[in-house]
Structure formats: C-alpha cells, structure tokens
Structure 1
Amino acid sequence: MRHFSAGEEVLAWIRDVANPGIKPGLHRMEWLMERLGHPERRLKFIHIAGTNGKGSTAAMIANTLYTCGYDVGLFTSPYVENFSERIRFNGQPIPEADLIEAANQIRPAVEECGQTEWGAPSEFELVTTLAIWYYAHISYPYYVVWETGLGGRWDATNVVYPVLTIITTVGLDHTQYLGETIAEIAREKAGIIKPGVPLVCGVTDPEALDVIQQVATEKKASLYVYGRHFTATPVEASEDGQSFDFSGPYRRFERVQIRLAGPHQMQNAAVALMGLEVLRQFMAFVYEEDEVLYRGMSETRWPGRLEKLADRPGIVIDGAHNPQAAASIAEAIRQLYTYDRLHLVVGLLKDKVNQDFFRPLLPLVDTVILTEPDFPRKASAEQLKEMVATLRPDVETVVEEDWRNALEAARRLAGPGDMVLVTGSLYLIGDVRKWLKNR
C-alpha cells in the first residue's frame, strides 16, 4: 500500500474511501479502536455536546487550559476555512506532516474496516479516528477538548471515556436523526453521560433538563446546572465582547472578560468556567494564579461567531444555522449593535431550511439577500425566498445564487452607517470570511 506524501492526498483519500452520509452507531468506531490498540485509552477527554455553543465553549476551555500551562488538543467540526482547523494542538492546526503520518498509520485499519460486516467508516468517523491517533501517538496532550459531531449517543466521538462531560444547550436541530421533540433530542445528547463522570450543563429548557437529570442520576454523574448551581451576571457588553461575574459552588470570579459578543456567549463562558472549576476541584487542574485563568478566557478567539470583518458598512458574520442560534444572534443584535439599516445575507443547507430560523431575524431587517453555499447539499435560494415571502411579504428580497454576487449586492445596497449580517451555513461563513480577508 503506497504511503501518502501530501496533505491533499490525505483529504482526497478521506473523501474517496469514506462511506457517504451520516451513519449513526458505534460499531465501526469500536472496531477501529480495537484494531488500532485502543489509542483513545491513552487520553483525558473533555466531551462536549449540545445543539449550539459547543465550539465556543470548547475554544474557551482549550485556550484557558493552554494559557495555564497545559498541552491541549481541540477537536471540532466543521471547519471554517481549512480542514486542519478541526484537529488542533496548543491552538495550532495539525501540521501537514503530522496529518500525513496519522493517515498512513490508520489507513490499513480503515481499509480493513471496509471489508467487515460494518462497512467503511463515514467521513466523520475516519476524521475522528485520525484525530485520536494524532493525539495519542504524535502530540500527546494532557487534555483533549472533544466536540461531538451530531447528537451524542451514537456519535463517533462517544467511543471515548472522558474525565468531564458538558452539554451546552438543547434545541430542535437534526430532527431527522435525533428525534422530533426536545425530550428525544435531549436523550440523544445525554448519551455522552458516563457513570461517575461529572456533567456540567448549560441547558435551561425544563423538558430537556428533566431528561438530562434523569440520565445523570441513573449514571451517578455529579450534575452542575446553569442557573441553579452556577450563574453569570452581566457587567458590561458591547459588540466587541463583554464582562460578567461568575458565581459557582466553589468560587466566585468577578469581571471575567471575553471577546465573544452576545448573551448566549456569556452563558457559554459560564459553562466553560464551571467545567474548569470541576477540573480544578477533582482532577488536579492547577495554575499559579487567577490572573492566568482570566487571561485564557479573555484571549479566546472563535471565528465566525458575530465576527466583524469590515466597517462602513459594517459586515458581521455568524454561523447560526438553526432556530435557536438565530434567536440568539437576533437578541445580540437588538442589544449591542447600532446601525441605520440592516441587510441580511442568508445561505442554508437543505436539512436546515426552517421557517423558525427566519422568524427572529426578519423583524429586524430592511433587506434580505438569499444565496447558496458552495456545497452539494445547499438549499435553493428560491425556496428560501418563498419562505421569507410567507413570513414577511413587505421586506425587500433579492435572490443571488452566487454568494459572491450576494455579498456585493449587500455592499451596494448598504450605506456607510448600515450593517450587513451574513449568516446560515458555516460553509458559507467560511467562504465569505476567507474572501473578505484576502481582498
């Protein structure tokens, strides 16, 4: 079997060998881990699930652990601009040489798996396996901050046994895979809860919280719930970030600063701090002084989340792609941003088309420009136009299938005091971000 010698060869192999689509179930991951000698058992995972907020929470935990002197892996999905962003070590994307080495090491097992009764792994399973090998055999982090891909119970990441689990939020998303109700989706996400492993929970929906509490009790997992065991109280907020006071069962932190905007990010930050406090209290997470922890939180960056890329007119991007996320950014816009007119640019994937995505945003906007991400599963801009017309027939609506033309149309329509908000699929957000940064 010829070895890979370039990163592009690895990415092409992942696309060609992987079984297309989503394949719930852990059979293939368990088979691969056993075949590879259980590399996952060498690592300490912080496993994070949730409808929204996973990435931001993971980034804050990872950066703070790193700032406090720990070697840290961070596994997230999808990427914003480059594949290597998904697998990070100490804040840096996986180097091409390490990507090649890890792929060459797991390739025989992956090819062999395709000949078993379980069939070839999905793309996400293959990338998850590659990440585990990289962390276990090449970079050796003390902690791996480990974000689920879809749900929890049958997600490929759930092949690990973590030292801490976190569930950020529960909302209606991926209903074709996770269930049609909040309770059903909560039960899928609660699938990451392990016997005796502490759980930090940012969920506030009563129905979802009931399910999570039940599972935590069954698993004898200590439970820390936002609003009950720990809280965050806003101090100052702007479009550039915010500060808040954190109060938990073990300590209080005053005026914690983060550079992520919006009330939802304050909640994510509180969940991250509670997770770090659990590690400090029970897992011997130590650091010299609180100032280091404060710095780790304040220096965290997470691209594509209410990120401002231009002024006059202001251009802000956010990867909100479900109703709960859309409601969060609508609240942030009302509270934090000032502008003359608001122009909304939206592109979604087919499985994300939902009237409830548009409901919180349309009352705020003056113009809607509908476009399409460069992705096979993109939703038709014309379909989105019909949805917008049903909800708010009076709003000016433009259809530009090419997202570049859509962005240029928004800039032409916008005056110096206006704001352009680009949101929807992270595939769209990544392309727009790269395009604007390079201009």
Structure 2
Amino acid sequence: MTAEHMTNGTAAGTLSSYQEAVEWITGLIPFGIRPGLDRIEALMERLGNPHRRLKFIHVAGTNGKGSTCAYLTSVLIRGGYDVGTFTSPYITKFTNRFQYNGNDIEEETLLALANELRPHVEALAETELGSPTMFEVSTALAILFYAKVTFPDYVVWETGLGGRLDVTNIVYPVISIITNIGHDHMDRLGDTLVAVAEEKAGIIKPGIPVVCAATQPEVIEVMKRTAAERKSSLYLLGEQFAESAVSEREDDQTFRFDGLFRTIEPLSITLNGAHQRTNAATAVMALEVLRQYNALVIEDEALREGLLKAAWPGRLEMVSRDPRILLDGAHNPEGAEMLAKALRTTYRYEKLHLMMGMLENKNHRETIKHILPIVDTLILTEPDYRMKMEAQGLAGIVQEMRSNMPELPPIEIVIEKDWQQALNKLQQMTGDKDLGVVTGTLYLIADVRSRLLFGSDSEKGW
C-alpha cells in the first residue's frame, strides 16, 4: 500500500479502519441541516429497500425516548427475542448507537458496512439531492446492520429529531410510541407545543397502533386527531393505561400497571424518578398491544425481570459513591423539572452541589428555574462542544433570575469554564452527607461519565 493510501484510506476509495469510517460518517453534512426523507429513500432504493424486511417499534418524544427503548429492549431479550436497538445521541462510543441484543456493533462490521454505503453516498452527492447527512448515513448503516447482518425479530427504533421529517420515519413500524411532548428543539420543530406535537405525531402511520404518554390537553387533541385521520388505534396515558406507585426509594421503585387488557402488579424498576415509572408503563402498554394483536409472547416473569434489569446511562445515574456524584442529562425545562422532583423525593443529603453546562440554543431560563430553589452550590461550566453556552453568559442569566426571585435561599455560584476543573471542584466540595449532581447537555454528561467511570475521554455525539 502506498504512503498516500496509508495516510488516507479515502484516497483509495476504501475506508481502512474503524476510526476512519467514523470520521467519514461524522464528517458528512451535520445533523438536521436539510430535513426530509428524499435522500434516505433514494439511498434505500439503491440498496434494495432492506428496511422493508424488518419489524420496527418506532419511538419519538421530547424526553424519555432512550429509557423507553431500554425497557423495551430488556424485556424483549428476556422474552427470548433477538432485538436491534438504534438510539441517539451516543454517550461513550459511536458504536453505542447500533446494538444487537444489548451489545454494540463490532468495529469491523461497522467498517464493512461503511464501505458498502460509501459509493452510494458519493453517487447521491453528485445528484440534485446532494450528499446524505451524517444522521442519514448512520440510519442507513443501522438498517444494513439489522437487515443484512443480525436479522433481529424486532428493531427498537428511536427518532433523532421530531418525527414527521426525521430520517427514521422511512420505516413502517408494527407500533409507534410517543413518550411525551415538551419545550425542546423549538428552533427547529415550531414555537408552540402544538407545533412540536404535529411534528412528533408524524410517526403515526395508517392503521398502525400508537401508544402515547403526553399529558397536555392541546397535545392530546393533536394525537387524537392525527390517529383518527390515519385510522390508528390510540392508547393514551390516563385513558387506556395508567401507572400508580406502590413504593419508591433510591434505585428501587415498584408500581402497578393498569391497562386496557389487564392489570399487572407489582412491577419494579431500578431507574430513578417518577417519570421512569411513566416510561416503563408506556413500554409495557406497547408490549401489551403487540401481545394482543401481533402474537407477541412475553411471559410475566420475563416482563418483570426485563424491567428490573433495564439501565440507561446518564439519566439519574449514580457514577460515584465517595463522594456521591449523580449524572442526569436534563437539558430542557421538562427534564430539569423531573430532576428537581427526583432530588426532592428520592435522594437524601445535607447539601446539594450542582454542576451545569448547556448548549447556546436551549431554553436556559425555563430550565434553570427548576434548579435554583433546591441547590446550595451552583457550578456553571462549559461543555466541550462547538455550540456551547459560555459559563459567564449562563451566570448572567442566573444572577438576573435571582434578583427577580428574592424568596430564594442564598446559594454559592462558581464560574469555571473548564469542565474538568469544575468537576474537581464539585468532588472537593461534596462532603460525606452531601450530593453532587452534574446536569445539562449530554455532551457534558458524556465527558464527565467517561472521566469518572473509565478515566478517559468519550467520543460523544450524534
């Protein structure tokens, strides 16, 4: 092999390593720049439409998508099914996004599939459609992984952004799930909850049942109208199914599931926060629908064990016990509200020290307002990402909000741009009876998690 080929596999037209394949994919036009399904449809057409041979469980929503996917995957595997799971963003490594029976895609397999895709991507780039984006190529790679390499019984398929124009919406699923609707990505999905709901409801397909955990009346109206138009059976939290808490303590929640077909009690989960009971109940309802209408066979013992064993990194995850450090990717107002509720009800501590880093395009004030009343120390930092919100700017927002909220108890505010130095300060100030929390964008959560658990940097990203 020539020196030119060795330094750049792309020169030879073939990617020569896993790292090179990831760099090629992530170096394509970034996520979300050109919404629409034209390019992914053209790419699938060139590949023989492999997605049509798979059974998808399509999951959309503002928060809770990843956890719901984790519950579904865990239960289905324990029920004896082979399961593909496609999620985003990834926390530790690019391969996290493409899982089969709970294990990441192997690097060599990803490399081989990237090389299979590359000539088609480059051919499309020469047409009027333009180059497929990074997210489109990742989605196509996932479809090839499941349709041509692993052949799962079900693919748990998480949307990237929105629903209607999201690349993942190319599939025709056996069931659709919409976890909830909240104030996130409103710069791209619309400036009202109704507008966001319209986009998320875009995954509802004609005649395909949909399970939804949204609670706002205006959002429910959108879901009911869309389901009726498409003649899809809608199973709505609070109407066709519900959950009620039996007991709740750190790392252990038990609840009762009441569904249209039956009641199941008790069910237990180790993920923390009341919202995780909702996510688990949403997953159970989807499985119940598939059991009734698609001949899915899941023994109750597999259901119980699957829910109990489900894990999802970076969401109310205790990554250190000495000192106690909790990670939670609460990057929007609804996520921050759920975090604050969990910190009030589930965890015990004398002082609460919280480190936060956010992206610049987020709803900072509505997110921070849930955090300010409960913290003793607030450490403001910056994620290692190009769209970061500067710590000084975040501090300005906090100071302005505090001046307008005189009823708040005094808190110490620390500004530390370097997230590693901020983490050191958090560890130092968190005493034996205190709790340290790291929250905000998942780009920060990914780096902190890798540093605390593995002593290394994360790949992190979409």
TM-score bracket, normalised by the shorter chain, equals: over 0.9
| Residue 94 of structure 2 corresponds to residue 83 of structure 1 | yes
Residue 389 of structure 2: SS of its match in structure 1? coil
In the TM superposition, residue 20 of structure 1 has moved relative to its aligned partner by: 6.1
In the TM superposition, residue 417 of structure 1 has moved relative to its aligned partner by: 0.8
In the TM superposition, residue 172 of structure 1 has moved relative to its aligned partner by: 1.1
**Aligned residue number for residue 386 of structure 2:** 376
Residue 351 of structure 1: SS of its match in structure 2? coil
In the TM superposition, residue 353 of structure 1 has moved relative to its aligned partner by: 4.3
- More moved, 247-256 vs 11-20: 11-20
In the TM superposition, residue 396 of structure 1 has moved relative to its aligned partner by: 1.4
CA distance in 2, matches of 1:50, 1:22: 20
1:68-110 Cα shifts (integer Å, max 9, x gaps): 0111000000001111101100000111111011111111111
1:274-313 Cα shifts (integer Å, max 9, x gaps): 01101111111113x3111111111111111100112243
Q: 2:445 aligns with which of 426, 429, 434?
A: 429
- The answer to whether the 8 Å contact 2:27/2:134 transfers is no
- The answer to whether the 8 Å contact 1:187/1:211 transfers is yes
Hey, which bits of structure 1, 4+ residues long, moved more than 6 A?
none
CA distance in 2, matches of 1:423, 1:127: 27
**Aligned residue number for residue 23 of structure 1:** 34
1:8-57 Cα shifts (integer Å, max 9, x gaps): 01011112333565321111111111111101101100000000000000
CA distance in 1, matches of 2:68, 2:33: 24
Residue 191 of structure 2: SS of its match in structure 1? coil
CA distance in 1, matches of 2:30, 2:96: 22
Query: Could you tell me which amino acid in structure 2 is paired with residue 360 of structure 1?
Result: H
CA distance in 2, matches of 1:20, 1:147: 15
- The answer to whether the 8 Å contact 2:333/2:363 transfers is no
CA distance in 1, matches of 2:76, 2:15: 33
1:116-137 Cα shifts (integer Å, max 9, x gaps): 1121112111111111111111
CA distance in 1, matches of 2:372, 2:124: 48
Q: 1:212 aligns with which of 223, 241, 245?
A: 223
In the TM superposition, residue 428 of structure 1 has moved relative to its aligned partner by: 0.7
Q: 1:6 aligns with which of 14, 17, 21?
A: 17
Residue 136 of structure 2: SS of its match in structure 1? helix
| Residue 89 of structure 2 corresponds to residue 73 of structure 1 | no
**Aligned residue number for residue 354 of structure 2:** 344
**Aligned residue number for residue 40 of structure 1:** 51
- The answer to whether the 8 Å contact 2:30/2:135 transfers is no
Unmatched runs of 5 consecutive residues or more in structure 1: none
Residue 243 of structure 2: SS of its match in structure 1? strand
**Aligned residue number for residue 365 of structure 1:** 375
- The answer to whether the 8 Å contact 1:353/1:379 transfers is no
**Superposed counterparts of 1:197-236, under 5 Å:** 197-236=208-247
Q: 1:405 aligns with which of 378, 403, 421?
A: 421
| Residue 165 of structure 2 corresponds to residue 154 of structure 1 | yes
Number of aligned residues = 438
- More moved, 248-257 vs 144-153: 248-257
- More moved, 407-416 vs 324-333: 407-416
- More moved, 209-218 vs 390-399: 390-399
**Aligned residue number for residue 137 of structure 1:** 148
- The answer to whether the 8 Å contact 1:345/1:410 transfers is yes
Query: Could you tell me which amino acid in structure 1 is paired with residue 232 of structure 2?
Result: A
CA distance in 2, matches of 1:370, 1:113: 44
CA distance in 1, matches of 2:141, 2:27: 15
CA distance in 1, matches of 2:430, 2:312: 26
| Residue 124 of structure 2 corresponds to residue 108 of structure 1 | no
> TM-score scaled by structure 1?
0.98
1:125-161 Cα shifts (integer Å, max 9, x gaps): 1111111111111111110000000000000000111
CA distance in 1, matches of 2:139, 2:435: 38
- More moved, 413-422 vs 55-64: 413-422
**Aligned residue number for residue 301 of structure 1:** 311
**Aligned residue number for residue 282 of structure 1:** 293
Q: 1:196 aligns with which of 170, 190, 207?
A: 207
CA distance in 1, matches of 2:31, 2:440: 23
Residue 421 of structure 1: SS of its match in structure 2? strand
1:374-417 Cα shifts (integer Å, max 9, x gaps): 11111111111011111225421111111110011112222211
CA distance in 1, matches of 2:53, 2:108: 22
CA distance in 1, matches of 2:33, 2:146: 24
Q: 2:135 aligns with which of 107, 124, 127?
A: 124
**Aligned residue number for residue 459 of structure 2:** none
CA distance in 1, matches of 2:57, 2:420: 38
Closer/same/farther in 2, CA of residues 305 and 20 from structure 1, 3 Å limit? closer
Residue 439 of structure 2: SS of its match in structure 1? strand
Residue 17 of structure 1: SS of its match in structure 2? coil
Closer/same/farther in 2, CA of residues 146 and 112 from structure 1, 3 Å limit? same
- The answer to whether the 8 Å contact 1:19/1:121 transfers is no
CA distance in 1, matches of 2:135, 2:249: 36
- More moved, 43-52 vs 408-417: 408-417
Residue 153 of structure 1: SS of its match in structure 2? coil
**Aligned residue number for residue 328 of structure 1:** 338
- More moved, 265-274 vs 110-119: 110-119
**Aligned residue number for residue 324 of structure 2:** 314
- More moved, 9-18 vs 193-202: 9-18
Residue 309 of structure 1: SS of its match in structure 2? strand
CA distance in 1, matches of 2:198, 2:50: 28
CA distance in 1, matches of 2:88, 2:31: 17
Residue 69 of structure 1: SS of its match in structure 2? coil
Query: Could you tell me which amino acid in structure 1 is paired with residue 391 of structure 2?
Result: A
- More moved, 306-315 vs 167-176: 306-315
Residue 26 of structure 2: SS of its match in structure 1? helix
